[in-house]
């Protein structure tokens, strides 16, 4: 069943609240002051069922110029506006300002409702209708249905309801696949229930019992129960007016303008990149760093304007800009906003958010303007690719991209599949995505790093993988690093725990070759009772990079380290292992004395030898002897 949100708009005392009561039999003026003064001050809410079965929620907004802030909070998220004009008075100042706001928010559907029809004659009514048509030219309401009614006699109401039902059919249903998001327009306590928040669920769905976050405070709240149109429901869907009974938070910690949404669905931001338009009939020229009031969702935020592509923004002009917020918020790509002058208060313009998590920009930078033009074009594949080009080093998942860009995850996944198919993006096994540009730059960085390492340490097998990971990848896990290194196998070779260029080969000098030969000879002299390596080296002529040479010989297996300074040559070691294995062909165990006699050695050597064989998994100790593992 489609759910739609209807909003009212229009000048004070033109009959918006009376119209809603006649439609729904619900009094939306709930405050004592409203009843006393006979005007709407804050938002009011009602609902009714359309003949087709569609469910309609209604938001009644104040018409007085002093309460435009409340009006802006009310029209956030509406699908259809009832643009109310008194047949007695016609177009008035707030009629125009409300129309400007609706245009700036790009509300697409509306019905012009002429109220107080019973107070004028047909000739006057025709004159007012013509005047209104002229005023609506060039706006989204040009050519919109116009219905004349009397809220007292109910004349014209059948026609109005039928028109609303027909217009509702054309309303695009809000996405319920996205993460739930509800800007809060009211918070109060109810005896026996606790804290209640209300708002229009602009996208996604919210379920009873689940936990949500309150943006921007990031406080966690739990949904105890849900009401939609005064009925308990287990789930609320996008396009519905919703009341949530929440726990885990005080009423004083929630404010109008806060957003109730799923965890990790948005990021907190203090900078927005936007496309900003100034109203044609505004009397203001905006200069860089002008202080403004930003209205987004149900929130008002003070901000500074940074003009990115021009010195001054004049009435009727459009520009790329950055809004630097004085308090943080959370929003998404494509959200609409309105700006009012700081003082005196007047609506001057609005636009669309192009980057909800912007970084500080310098003005008049061609690359920044080009990027914003691309975002404005709505080419979402380019937007995702552009972010990956800049931020692949963050190893982002689809969830991260969705949160960063304010796009739905399903959209992100489809766009990523296309980018992968075009060989522009690579998906890793941990479900992170990297741009090919980043991979190329990463490969070049590793090649340069290894090249410098080989020059500095010409006889080392290579650079330790862990050192490469720490130096270049930071906290990325080795499993992910290995997956990426496999992509560079034409240029980068993995040798155990070392990395080198595939073109690199160790080239020992004649002195180093002679040293290696003499070292092996000296070790072999002692058979299985060799001198300690430190003593052997002390009596030898040593070339450059001795420790690197010994490390290489150990890594390649030319030398085998048994314990501390005890080393065997590979040949000597292999003979020893063969003897041990041969022993076990006829015996089921070997003692320390057996091994000592077999190798013609002493306890000083046989103990570390047997412990070494245990460590490599050839033997296992049982009491005071060994068995073949």
405 in a domain, yes or no?
no
Which residues, 6+ apart, have CB-to-CB distance to 7 below 8 Å?
58, 59, 61, 74, 75, 78, 80, 81, 82, 107
Contact 89, 11 (CB under 8 A): yes
Q: What is the CATH number of the domain that holds 206?
A: 2.40.30.10
d(CA 479, CA 224): 42
622 in a domain, yes or no?
yes
Give me the half-sphere count of Cα atoms (radius 13 Å) on the Cβ side of residue 594. Answer: 16
Co-location of 130 and 248 in the same domain? no
Q: Is the pTM of this model over 0.85?
A: no
Contact 251, 188 (CB under 8 A): yes
Co-location of 11 and 130 in the same domain? yes
**Of the candidates 135, 170, 205, which is a domain's last residue?**
170
Can you list the positions of beta strands (E) in 71-207?
80-86, 109-115, 146-148, 181-190, 194-200, 205-207
End-to-end CA distance of the chain, in Å?
70
How crowded is residue 232: how many other Cβ atoms within 10 Å of its Cβ?
Answer: 10
413 in a domain, yes or no?
no
Which residues, 6+ apart, have CB-to-CB distance to 396 below 8 Å?
387, 388, 404, 432, 433
Q: Is 474 exposed, middle or buried (0-12, 13-18, 19+ CB in 10 A)?
A: exposed
d(CA 184, CA 199): 5
Co-location of 159 and 33 in the same domain? yes
Co-location of 276 and 197 in the same domain? no
388 in a domain, yes or no?
no
Co-location of 475 and 517 in the same domain? no
Q: What is the CATH number of the domain that holds 468?
A: 1.10.10.10
Cα–Cα distance list, 444 to 392, 587, 615 (Å): 15, 57, 40
Co-location of 521 and 490 in the same domain? no
Co-location of 62 and 144 in the same domain? yes
Look up residue 184 and give its two tokens.
């809060």
d(CA 407, CA 599): 72
**Of the candidates 125, 148, 170, which is a domain's last residue?**
170
Contact 146, 159 (CB under 8 A): no
Which residues, 6+ apart, have CB-to-CB distance to 71 below 8 Å?
9, 61, 62, 63, 98, 101
Q: What is the CATH number of the domain that holds 137?
A: 3.40.50.300
Residue by residue, what is the 3-state secondary structure of 114-132?
EECHHHCCHHHHHHHHHHH
Q: Give the count of domains, the chain.
A: 5
Name 590's bridge partners: 626
What pLDDT is recorded for position 555?
A: 87
Regions of the chain short of the pLDDT cut 70: 1, 31, 34-39
Which helix (H) or strand (E) is 593 found in, with range?
helix 592-599
Co-location of 457 and 567 in the same domain? no
**Of the candidates 372, 397, 417, which is a domain's last residue?**
372
419 in a domain, yes or no?
no
Co-location of 9 and 120 in the same domain? yes
390 in a domain, yes or no?
no
Domain ranges, residue 198: 181-261
Contact 389, 441 (CB under 8 A): no
Co-location of 497 and 585 in the same domain? no
117 in a domain, yes or no?
yes
Strands 463-464 and 498-501: antiparallel
CA angle 16-20-24, nearest 5°? 180
Name 221's bridge partners: 212
What pLDDT is recorded for position 539?
A: 87
Co-location of 162 and 283 in the same domain? no
Co-location of 517 and 497 in the same domain? no
What pLDDT is recorded for position 36?
A: 67
Give alpha helix (H) positions in 120-278: 122-135, 157-170
383 in a domain, yes or no?
no
């Amino acid at each position: 069943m489609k759910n739609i949100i209807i909003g009212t708009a229009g000048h004070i005392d033109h009959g918006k609240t009376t119209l809603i009561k006649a439609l729904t039999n619900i009094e939306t003026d709930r405050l004592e002051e409203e009843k006393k003064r006979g005007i709407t001050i804050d938002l009011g809410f009602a609902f009714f069922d359309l003949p087709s079965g569609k469910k309609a929620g209604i938001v009644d907004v104040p018409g007085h110029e002093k309460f435009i802030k409340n009006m802006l909070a009310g029209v956030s998220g509406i699908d259809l506006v009832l643009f109310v004009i008194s047949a007695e008075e016609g177009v008035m100042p707030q009629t125009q300002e409300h129309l400007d706001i609706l245009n700036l928010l790009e509300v697409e559907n509306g019905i012009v409702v002429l109220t107080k029809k019973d107070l004028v004659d047909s000739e006057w009514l025709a004159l007012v209708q013509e005047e209104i048509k002229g005023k609506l030219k060039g706006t989204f309401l040009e050519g919109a249905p116009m219905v004349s009614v009397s809220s007292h006699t109910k004349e014209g109401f059948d026609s109005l309801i039928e028109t609303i039902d027909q217009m509702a059919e054309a309303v695009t249903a809000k996405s319920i696949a996205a993460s739930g998001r509800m800007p809060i327009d009211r918070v109060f306590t109810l005896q026996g229930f606790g804290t209640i928040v209300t708002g229009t669920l602009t996208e996604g769905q919210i379920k009873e019992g689940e936990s949500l976050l309150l943006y921007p405070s990031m406080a966690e709240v739990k949904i105890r129960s849900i009401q939609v149109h005064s009925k308990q429901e287990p789930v609320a869907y996008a396009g519905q007016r919703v009341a949530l009974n929440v726990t885990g938070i005080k009423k004083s910690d929630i404010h109008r303008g806060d957003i109730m949404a799923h965890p990790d669905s948005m990021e907190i931001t203090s900078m927005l990149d936007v496309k900003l338009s100034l109203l044609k009939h505004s009397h203001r020229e905006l200069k860089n760093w002008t202080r403004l009031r930003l209205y987004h969702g149900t929130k008002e935020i003070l901000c500074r304007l940074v003009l990115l592509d021009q010195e001054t923004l004049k009435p009727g002009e459009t520009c790329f800009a950055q809004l630097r917020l004085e308090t943080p918020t959370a929003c998404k790509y494509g959200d609409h906003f309105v700006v009012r002058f700081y003082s005196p208060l007047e609506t001057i313009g609005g636009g669309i958010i192009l980057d909800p998590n912007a970084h500080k920009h310098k003005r008049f930078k061609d690359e920044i303007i080009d990027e914003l033009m691309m975002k404005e074009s709505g080419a979402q594949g380019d937007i995702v690719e552009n972010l990956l080009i800049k931020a692949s080093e963050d190893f982002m998942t689809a969830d991260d991209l969705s949160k960063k860009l304010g796009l739905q995850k399903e959209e992100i996944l489809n766009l990523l599949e296309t980018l992968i198919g075009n060989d522009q993006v690579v998906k890793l096994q941990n479900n992170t995505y990297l741009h090919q540009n980043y991979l190329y730059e990463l490969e070049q960085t590793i090649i340069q790093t290894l090249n410098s390492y080989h020059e500095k340490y010409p006889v080392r097998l290579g650079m330790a993988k862990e050192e490469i990971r720490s130096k270049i990848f930071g906290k990325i896990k080795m499993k992910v690093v290995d997956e990426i290194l496999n992509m560079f196998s034409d240029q980068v070779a993995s040798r155990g725990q070392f990395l080198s260029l595939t073109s690199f080969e160790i080239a020992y000098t004649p002195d180093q070759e002679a040293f290696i030969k003499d070292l092996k000879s000296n070790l072999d002299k002692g058979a299985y009772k060799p001198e300690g390596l430190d003593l052997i080296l002390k009596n030898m002529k040593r070339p450059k990079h001795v420790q690197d040479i010994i490390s290489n010989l150990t890594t390649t297996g030319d030398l085998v380290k048994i314990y501390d300074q005890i080393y065997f040559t590979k040949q000597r070691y292999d003979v020893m292992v063969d003897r041990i294995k041969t022993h076990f062909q006829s015996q089921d165990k070997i003692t320390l004395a057996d091994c000592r006699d077999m190798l013609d050695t002493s306890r000083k050597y046989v103990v570390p030898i047997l412990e070494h064989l245990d460590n490599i998994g050839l033997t296992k100790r049982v009491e005071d002897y060994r068995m073949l593992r």
